[in-house]
Structure 1
């Protein structure tokens, strides 16, 4: 989810940036108009846009959902955030929104992409009253992430867990639902789960074609329908209006993405409370 100029380290080094194959985070950066991507990322991004011209609008809608949901959570009194699958920094970042409302907010970011690590400095510019930290970690190892997050966050107080545009890269066989269950189980009462997720529900033919392209590049795309996305919130109380197309989640808290002219944008969003 980020990118800089030269590859670092070697293939056995966690800081190694493989520029020989596309990376979903860098493609996301390209769709948002960023510069932290490589020709291989641009090539696949253009192929996907040729299949579905709405994809850049989906990326913008996802960012807008994150911003609105963070505003809502900070306004609801949440002062701690754990953001897994952070991506390349794109202002405003989550901590900038949260600390703009509550300067004492504490934020821990986590990603497994070495390009995000290369840009971690942009994620660590906290207010004096608050804190921001960055963890290099894999979402499929929640125990490790939680252990590191506890060094900055107080898990006796509410935490907002952010899983934005992450889980559609984690298939069921890799334990997507089990990962979320383990993370949510560690959160105290009063915490929240904030989640967005791509779907192929509206245009299944396009979704299958995109999935085939990802598979041909040794990448995983696990698009889910609304019922499957709602399942991630099992045991939690969904904040109205529940799981909706991302642009329809509290549009009063920020600008919506302009309509793409081809039906609803294929990404869901929702926020839920742990009672």
Structure 2
């Protein structure tokens, strides 16, 4: 199998530098219209795809991002490995604005989003005990450090609904009682959907602020966030540019089983499955259906 890297870019990252044969491709999905067309091309001989999570011009809020359509569209293109790049706030003094975190755990506090490709007529349950791919995360860690970025190896990401930032009480609870490291609004249900689609998924969280818990920083200042975002964007481009050589053009099966997540997940008997839903699942679950 050939490696095909998909980058989902969040606030601050809207392109990949140096793509050969770069073309904006429209991908139709039965799950709705993706956030935008997908920029495709090759980098160091490896196929790459870039999807702006919020759309060019930042038209989607975290709650209105069409997460199912986005993941489905990447799977339809043939993407094998998805790297999420997104802005976040930090709950840890040592995780400072400008640092990156390779997220390995999530607490999902979102409530206004469709979180699964499956449902009535085709029920499935996948494990997200370990919601990111360690192999892919390790590549992102190496790429980031090679690019001169301060990168933290692990972190727990609190996914909030938004679009408002946290209250002070919430920020303190997430930090002190729940043990979270960073906070953002977009990695859920994205990570869950990537697992259902049998895609390896890694999350690179780019810290822009200290949320509202920090006594020396006060409430989140959007103007300061934007300044930090611009610097983080350039760093992210350096990280992404190093991924093709690290991952290589030839791809073996995922040693952690991300690409086989549906082996035993579907519970609905074949004769009871809804044909309309099964048809929509052709890209996501075609391997097992």
Output the TM-score relative to the length of structure 1.
0.32
The structure, 1 or 2, with the larger RCO (C-alpha pairs under 8 Å, 6+ apart) is 2
More helix as a share of residues: 1
> By percentage of residues, which structure has more strand?
2
TM-score (norm 2): 0.30
